[in-house]
Amino acid sequence: MTLRLRRGSSLAVASHNQGKLREFRDLLGPYGVKVVSAGELGVPEPVETGETFEENAQLKAVITAFASGVPALADDSGLAVEALGGAPGIHSARWAGEPRDFYRAMERVEEELQAKGATSPERRRAKFVCVLCLANPMGAAQFFEGTVEGHLVWPPRGEKGFGYDPIFVPDGYDQTFGEMDPAKKHAISHRANAFAAFHAAVLEGDAGQD
Protein backbone atom coordinates (compact mmCIF):
# COMPACT_ATOMS: atom_id res chain seq x y z
CA MET A 1 0.00 0.00 0.00
CA THR A 2 1.11 3.58 -0.47
CA LEU A 3 -0.96 5.84 1.67
CA ARG A 4 -0.88 9.62 1.12
CA LEU A 5 -1.99 12.21 3.69
CA ARG A 6 -3.16 15.59 2.51
CA ARG A 7 -4.01 18.80 4.40
CA GLY A 8 -7.11 18.15 6.55
CA SER A 9 -6.55 14.35 6.75
CA SER A 10 -6.89 12.74 10.17
CA LEU A 11 -4.09 10.68 11.58
CA ALA A 12 -4.19 8.73 14.82
CA VAL A 13 -0.89 8.75 16.68
CA ALA A 14 -0.46 5.54 18.61
CA SER A 15 1.53 6.86 21.55
CA HIS A 16 0.74 7.51 25.20
CA ASN A 17 4.09 9.18 25.79
CA GLN A 18 3.51 12.94 26.23
CA GLY A 19 7.02 13.83 25.10
CA LYS A 20 6.64 11.94 21.83
CA LEU A 21 3.12 13.24 21.23
CA ARG A 22 4.38 16.80 21.57
CA GLU A 23 7.14 16.09 19.03
CA PHE A 24 4.69 14.49 16.56
CA ARG A 25 2.29 17.42 16.86
CA ASP A 26 5.18 19.83 16.22
CA LEU A 27 6.28 17.83 13.19
CA LEU A 28 2.84 17.19 11.63
CA GLY A 29 1.05 20.44 12.50
CA PRO A 30 2.64 22.47 9.69
CA TYR A 31 1.22 20.02 7.11
CA GLY A 32 -2.35 20.54 8.28
CA VAL A 33 -2.72 16.90 9.36
CA LYS A 34 -5.22 16.55 12.21
CA VAL A 35 -3.50 14.55 14.91
CA VAL A 36 -5.56 12.62 17.42
CA SER A 37 -3.81 10.55 20.07
CA ALA A 38 -4.47 6.95 21.11
CA GLY A 39 -5.28 8.26 24.59
CA GLU A 40 -7.95 10.63 23.25
CA LEU A 41 -9.39 7.70 21.24
CA GLY A 42 -9.49 5.48 24.33
CA VAL A 43 -7.14 2.93 22.71
CA PRO A 44 -5.19 1.19 25.48
CA GLU A 45 -1.41 0.90 25.39
CA PRO A 46 -0.61 -2.57 24.00
CA VAL A 47 1.98 -4.84 25.57
CA GLU A 48 5.03 -4.62 23.34
CA THR A 49 5.70 -8.27 22.62
CA GLY A 50 7.78 -7.70 19.47
CA GLU A 51 11.48 -8.48 19.28
CA THR A 52 12.40 -5.60 16.97
CA PHE A 53 11.59 -1.90 16.70
CA GLU A 54 9.61 -2.74 13.50
CA GLU A 55 7.44 -5.40 15.17
CA ASN A 56 6.58 -3.16 18.11
CA ALA A 57 5.79 -0.15 15.92
CA GLN A 58 3.54 -2.29 13.71
CA LEU A 59 1.70 -3.78 16.67
CA LYS A 60 0.85 -0.30 18.02
CA ALA A 61 -0.06 1.23 14.64
CA VAL A 62 -2.35 -1.64 13.56
CA ILE A 63 -4.30 -1.72 16.84
CA THR A 64 -4.82 2.05 16.73
CA ALA A 65 -5.85 2.07 13.05
CA PHE A 66 -8.40 -0.72 13.69
CA ALA A 67 -9.80 1.08 16.72
CA SER A 68 -9.99 4.54 15.14
CA GLY A 69 -10.92 3.71 11.54
CA VAL A 70 -8.31 6.21 10.28
CA PRO A 71 -4.65 5.69 9.37
CA ALA A 72 -2.43 5.40 12.41
CA LEU A 73 1.21 6.23 12.93
CA ALA A 74 3.28 4.58 15.64
CA ASP A 75 6.90 4.80 16.52
CA ASP A 76 9.10 2.47 18.39
CA SER A 77 12.32 3.99 19.45
CA GLY A 78 15.12 3.60 21.86
CA LEU A 79 18.74 4.04 22.71
CA ALA A 80 21.24 1.48 21.38
CA VAL A 81 24.60 1.55 23.16
CA GLU A 82 27.42 -0.01 21.15
CA ALA A 83 29.47 -1.32 24.10
CA LEU A 84 26.32 -2.92 25.55
CA GLY A 85 25.53 -4.88 22.38
CA GLY A 86 22.71 -2.51 21.42
CA ALA A 87 21.03 -2.46 24.87
CA PRO A 88 18.74 -1.09 26.14
CA GLY A 89 17.31 -1.01 22.56
CA ILE A 90 13.68 -2.10 22.44
CA HIS A 91 13.78 -2.27 26.25
CA SER A 92 14.65 1.44 26.66
CA ALA A 93 11.37 2.37 28.37
CA ARG A 94 11.38 -0.79 30.51
CA TRP A 95 14.83 -0.01 31.92
CA ALA A 96 13.16 2.92 33.70
CA GLY A 97 11.01 0.50 35.74
CA GLU A 98 7.49 1.15 37.00
CA PRO A 99 6.68 3.92 37.74
CA ARG A 100 9.07 5.25 35.08
CA ASP A 101 12.26 6.74 36.48
CA PHE A 102 14.69 7.67 33.73
CA TYR A 103 17.38 8.75 36.14
CA ARG A 104 17.46 5.10 37.23
CA ALA A 105 17.58 3.93 33.60
CA MET A 106 20.46 6.32 32.80
CA GLU A 107 22.26 5.16 35.95
CA ARG A 108 21.95 1.54 34.84
CA VAL A 109 23.45 2.40 31.44
CA GLU A 110 26.30 4.20 33.23
CA GLU A 111 26.92 1.33 35.65
CA GLU A 112 27.09 -1.17 32.79
CA LEU A 113 29.46 1.10 30.83
CA GLN A 114 31.69 1.52 33.92
CA ALA A 115 31.69 -2.26 34.42
CA LYS A 116 33.11 -2.54 30.90
CA GLY A 117 35.67 0.20 31.57
CA ALA A 118 34.04 2.35 28.88
CA THR A 119 35.25 5.80 29.89
CA SER A 120 36.42 7.44 26.63
CA PRO A 121 33.88 8.95 24.19
CA GLU A 122 34.90 6.34 21.56
CA ARG A 123 33.97 3.50 23.95
CA ARG A 124 30.69 5.24 24.79
CA ARG A 125 29.20 5.36 21.29
CA ALA A 126 25.41 5.18 21.12
CA LYS A 127 22.59 5.93 18.75
CA PHE A 128 18.92 6.70 19.06
CA VAL A 129 16.81 4.65 16.63
CA CYS A 130 13.28 5.42 15.54
CA VAL A 131 11.10 3.21 13.37
CA LEU A 132 7.79 4.68 12.25
CA CYS A 133 4.99 2.43 11.10
CA LEU A 134 2.00 3.80 9.21
CA ALA A 135 -0.92 1.38 9.15
CA ASN A 136 -4.27 1.72 7.45
CA PRO A 137 -7.45 0.35 9.07
CA MET A 138 -7.16 -2.79 6.85
CA GLY A 139 -3.85 -3.61 8.54
CA ALA A 140 -1.40 -2.84 5.70
CA ALA A 141 1.79 -1.22 6.92
CA GLN A 142 4.68 0.98 5.72
CA PHE A 143 7.94 1.58 7.63
CA PHE A 144 10.35 4.54 7.88
CA GLU A 145 13.59 4.46 9.89
CA GLY A 146 15.80 7.19 11.31
CA THR A 147 18.88 7.23 13.53
CA VAL A 148 21.10 9.82 15.19
CA GLU A 149 24.63 8.88 16.28
CA GLY A 150 26.54 10.24 19.25
CA HIS A 151 28.15 9.37 22.58
CA LEU A 152 27.05 9.21 26.21
CA VAL A 153 28.17 11.49 29.04
CA TRP A 154 27.86 11.31 32.83
CA PRO A 155 26.40 12.98 34.88
CA PRO A 156 23.15 13.79 33.04
CA ARG A 157 22.85 17.39 31.76
CA GLY A 158 19.79 19.50 30.93
CA GLU A 159 16.08 19.26 31.52
CA LYS A 160 14.60 20.14 28.13
CA GLY A 161 14.03 16.67 26.70
CA PHE A 162 12.79 13.36 28.02
CA GLY A 163 14.01 9.80 28.52
CA TYR A 164 17.76 9.43 27.91
CA ASP A 165 18.20 12.93 26.43
CA PRO A 166 20.36 14.25 29.33
CA ILE A 167 23.20 11.76 28.66
CA PHE A 168 23.22 11.78 24.83
CA VAL A 169 25.50 14.16 22.91
CA PRO A 170 24.86 13.95 19.15
CA ASP A 171 27.92 13.96 16.84
CA GLY A 172 29.00 17.48 15.90
CA TYR A 173 27.56 19.10 19.06
CA ASP A 174 28.72 19.74 22.65
CA GLN A 175 25.28 19.94 24.23
CA THR A 176 23.23 16.93 25.28
CA PHE A 177 19.73 16.56 23.81
CA GLY A 178 18.55 17.55 27.31
CA GLU A 179 20.32 20.91 27.01
CA MET A 180 19.31 21.65 23.42
CA ASP A 181 16.40 23.81 22.40
CA PRO A 182 13.63 21.48 21.21
CA ALA A 183 13.70 23.05 17.73
CA LYS A 184 17.37 22.17 17.38
CA LYS A 185 16.81 18.60 18.57
CA HIS A 186 13.82 18.20 16.25
CA ALA A 187 15.99 19.19 13.28
CA ILE A 188 18.52 16.38 13.81
CA SER A 189 16.86 13.68 15.91
CA HIS A 190 16.21 10.03 14.99
CA ARG A 191 12.49 10.87 14.90
CA ALA A 192 13.20 13.82 12.57
CA ASN A 193 15.16 11.54 10.22
CA ALA A 194 12.44 8.88 10.24
CA PHE A 195 9.88 11.61 9.76
CA ALA A 196 11.79 12.98 6.74
CA ALA A 197 11.45 9.57 5.06
CA PHE A 198 7.76 9.45 6.06
CA HIS A 199 7.28 12.99 4.76
CA ALA A 200 8.83 12.24 1.39
CA ALA A 201 6.68 9.15 0.88
CA VAL A 202 3.37 10.12 2.50
CA LEU A 203 2.72 13.82 3.13
CA GLU A 204 1.28 15.96 0.38
CA GLY A 205 1.78 19.71 0.08
CA ASP A 206 4.11 22.10 1.85
CA ALA A 207 4.45 23.10 5.46
CA GLY A 208 2.05 26.00 6.00
CA GLN A 209 0.76 28.22 8.78
CA ASP A 210 -1.57 25.72 10.54
Question: Could you give the angle at which helices 18-28 and 190-202 cross, rounded to 10 degrees?
Answer: 40
Is residue 170 within 8 A of residue 150, CB to CB? The reply is: yes
Q: Supply the minimum distance, in Å, between the C-beta of residue 165 and ligand IMP.
A: 4
Nearer to ligand IMP, 23 or 33 (CB): 23
The 10 Å CB-count burial string (b at 16+, else e) for 111-120 is: eebeeeebee
Neighbours of 150 (CB within 10 A): 22
- The reply to whether 163 sits near ligand IMP by the rule CB under 6 A is yes
Q: How far is the CB of 146 from ligand IMP (least distance, A)?
A: 11
Closest CA to 102 of 176, 22, 172, 41: 176
Taking CB under 6 A as the criterion, the residue among 66, 154, 162, 173 binding ligand IMP is 162
Annotation says 174 is catalytic: no
Residue 101 CA to residue 112 CA, distance in Å, equals: 17
Give the per-residue contact string, 80-119, with ligand IMP (x = CB under 6 A; - = no).
------------xx--------------------------
Complex with ligand IMP: residue 7 or 112, whichever CB lies closer? 112
Binding residue for ligand IMP, selected from 32, 78, 146, 170, defined by CB under 6 A: 78
The helix/strand/coil state of 143 is: strand
Q: Identify residues 6-25 at the interface with ligand IMP (CB under 6 A).
A: 17
- Binding to ligand IMP by CB under 6 A, coded x per residue (else -) over 122-151, reads ------x-----------------------
The CA-based angle 67-43-75, given to 5 degrees, is 90
> Which residues make up the interface to ligand IMP (CB under 6 A)?
17, 48, 75-79, 92-93, 128, 161-165, 177, 189
Q: Which residues are tagged catalytic?
A: 76
